[in-house]
Structures are given as structure tokens and as C-alpha cells.
Amino acid sequence: MNVLLFDYGTGNLHSLRKALELQGARVRVGDAVDGADAVVLPGVGAFGAAATRLAPHADALRRAAAGGLPVLGICLGMQLLLDTSEEGPGCGLGLIPGHVTRLRAARVPHMGWNDVRARGAEPLFAGLDGRRFYFANSFAAEPTDERDVAAGVEHEGVTFPAALRRGTVAGAQFHPEKSGPAGLRLLRNFLETVR
């Protein structure tokens, strides 16, 4: 399976590439979707800078996703699946309608391990409901349609989406590549849905 690890200049490419390769994917780092069986948008960075780097490729990514190409966004990558963010200027891909807002918790950034609860029979979380994943975020997704929330998490009394899904487009607010065996299993689950 050929996975494009999209390089918009701000992501955590090395560890994510290794984690995907451990699950059997052939990973190409770049920005051209041609020949990819799936696209992964990595995390780490600021929305404004990433949106600027993503902009020249946004239409191609939207067309590919509309054609059924599976997309997985991780942390910042998930936030880029939405329309806009309070963090900075620019537009996301709008693949999942919604907005990203500052996390309304007493302690921000939210850094550390939290239990994630899947909603329904979400394939990303097969065998993983209630498992702990590693988060590092100051902003959280607010999708327009609550049905797009695939899993939730609670941090200091504030509940927010831990994962989103709309068709073949999915996102995880946490970092599976830094979440040990549970994170690797989530990446494997994603690749299995692609297959």
C-alpha cells in the first residue's frame, strides 16, 4: 500500500513515517497525491503556517478525497481537515465542516495521556475503545455536525473530539506515532480500512 505522508513543512514526519512502515505501508513524503492509496496529514506546528503551505495543494487534496481517497489527519493534520481555526489565518481543507477553537481548560496546552472513548463501531478504534493515547494540543475541533465525532476525550472537565470521521476522511487529535502499541494498532486499523 502506498501512503503519501503530506509534507507541509511543519509536521512530525520521521516518527510517523516509521510507525506507518512498521504497519506495512510504503511511505512517500511529498505533496503530490498521484499514485497514493491514502494520504496522511501529520501533526506538530501552527495552523496558519500549515494552511499557507497546504493552500497550493488544497484543491487536489479535496478532489482526491471527494473521489474516495482515504485521508487521515493527525493532531494539527486533523485540524486542517476543518474549515478555519482561531489559532491563525488561512483555510483548512473543509473536508469536515467546522472550526477549531482554543481549548477551554484551566491547563493549556493539554499534554499527556488520556483515555479515548469511541462512539459507535468506529473502525479506527477496533480493539482500542477506552485505551490511552498521547495528546499535545492547545486547540480542539468543533465540527458543525456532531455525527462527525468518532471518539471523545476529557481533559480537566472539558470534553472535546479525540477523533473525527466523515466517509473516508478521518482525524485523530492525539499522536498515534507517540502512543505506543495502541497508536500502532490505530494506524494498522486505518490501513486495514484502506485495503
Which residues are part of the catalytic machinery? Answer: 75, 175, 177
User: b/e string for 111-120 if b means 16 or more Cβ within 10 A?
Assistant: eeebebbbbe
Residue type (1 letter), 161: P
For residue 70, which of 151, 4, 10, 14 has the smallest C-alpha distance?
Answer: 4
Q: What does the block give as the cell for 95?
A: 473536508
Cell output for 175: 499522536
Please state, in angstroms and rounded to a whole number, the distance separating the CA atoms of residues 120 and 114. 19
The sign one gets for the Cα dihedral 122, 128, 132, 137 is: negative
